[in-house]
Chain A
């Protein structure tokens, strides 16, 4: 059993290394990284500009919003980097019929799919997310203690699992319907837009949906609140990892159901 896990990990790392090296062959890869960077900056620009025009909302400054937002973006970027295969799966694996080839190989399916794509430029989103979070923490005067580093680290880890879970879920649903998958965007790029609303003013529906259905606030707001001392219970800051693992686990169940349902595509 242990050797099987080890073998899968090696396959995955080999895939990633291969994609990384082949990605470097394109002389324009850094342009794509720059473009992703600009997208991230442009995404936050509205929040910055409106705070600049209309001022703070009670205790809510733009640094606070940036911290929560950046934690979610960094997690999304990490998941997008290391689980890109699932992100691409419905269109580039399932519809094209390439998935059949994976079924023939004597290795874990999930690992093969996860490693089937990797794009260097997606790391830019993770990098700028982490950078922005660290910067916001320093602006908010949070010292780099073992506690704060630990909470933020666990938040990123849990967040990566949550967003990987979204990609896996989407791939699982793709076995049943491939045309109407756009709504999944609400759980990916659109999900962290919710963090632009100060949590005290967030409508209950958003708050509950992104805590209990898809734990996006558990991996962004609660760790940030615990580290900065905004009056949330300390235990809530440590929920990111278990919540992420649970969400990914449930998504993998949907995925397994989909694989069982699969009857090959193409001619």
Chain B
């Protein structure tokens, strides 16, 4: 009896491991297919890129007016040039953020196709993670290229400035890669929460709104009230936008660089665990109907 059980556990482990390897390979494949697929929509990217540029120009105008004419100009925390770069890079990164649940996954949740997905010999969480991350990254490339390109071509005071240093640029890129994982992980947590809900998108949109507001995409975090700055640095959504951009404009002390990246990755890991946990709970209660 004891021996049999031991063998069973060992077999279980090998099977689990091979399932994991297959899952990982399939997920990488899915990621490639979906991201290449979404790369096709160049006209759509041009169209949505125009929104980023328009938005950036409004924001830059607003902050320029405040920096030049406001009663307490000395209360500004970054320089205007840093702020302009902050806006351009922020607008570039926004398409990476989970501001809505992936269309394809939401359609599956609403239509009950989750049942079909469960029949696949794949880990549902990583399967969907790969798909939603790929959908976002595919749309991101073109739009980012347009936003950055136009930002660099703008005349003097509106131009996206150079990075503070080579090290700053490298840290910015590393941090953006972490942003990508963080966004995907939070998006999956929201998707998992949405799994069991049949009556609407209210709670999930609110979850995503909190992320958007605290990312610095609405108002650059350095301009938030001073007493909130400590909290704003450690909360997860600074990793969406604020932290990478701070590397670029040189608003993070070099001594804090490693801790900052670790913070981003730590939150990512936490969101992955939470997402898997919620999803497991939701799937336990899932009812498959029809035939």
Contacts and interface: CB of A to CB of B under 8 A. Distances in A.
A15 B221 CA distance: 45
Contact of B72 (A53, A179, A190): A53
A190 B55 contact: yes
A45 interface: yes
Contacts of A181: 47
A46 B87 CA distance: 13
A156 B232 CA distance: 38
B273 interface: no
A49 B65 contact: no
Contacts of A197: 58, 61-62, 65
Given A180-B43, A193-B58, A50 B50 contact: no
Interface string B249-286: 00000000000000000000000000000000000000
Contacts of B48: 182-183, 185
B62 A196 contact: yes
B76 A54 contact: yes
Contact of A57 (B55, B69, B75): B69
Interface string A186-229: 10001001101110011100100000000000000000000000
Given A53-B75, A182-B47, 13 more contacts: A27-B199, A31-B202, A32-B200, A34-B202, A35-B203, A46-B218, A50-B66, A50-B219, A53-B72, A180-B44, A180-B47, A183-B48, A203-B61
Interface of A: 26-32, 34-35, 38-39, 42-43, 45-47, 49-50, 52-58, 121, 177, 179-183, 185-186, 190, 193-194, 196-198, 201-203, 206
22 contacts: A34-B202, A38-B206, A45-B213, A50-B62, A55-B71, A55-B75, A56-B70, A57-B66, A57-B69, A121-B202, A177-B43, A179-B41, A179-B43, A179-B44, A180-B47, A182-B50, A183-B48, A183-B50, A190-B58, A193-B55, A197-B58, A198-B65
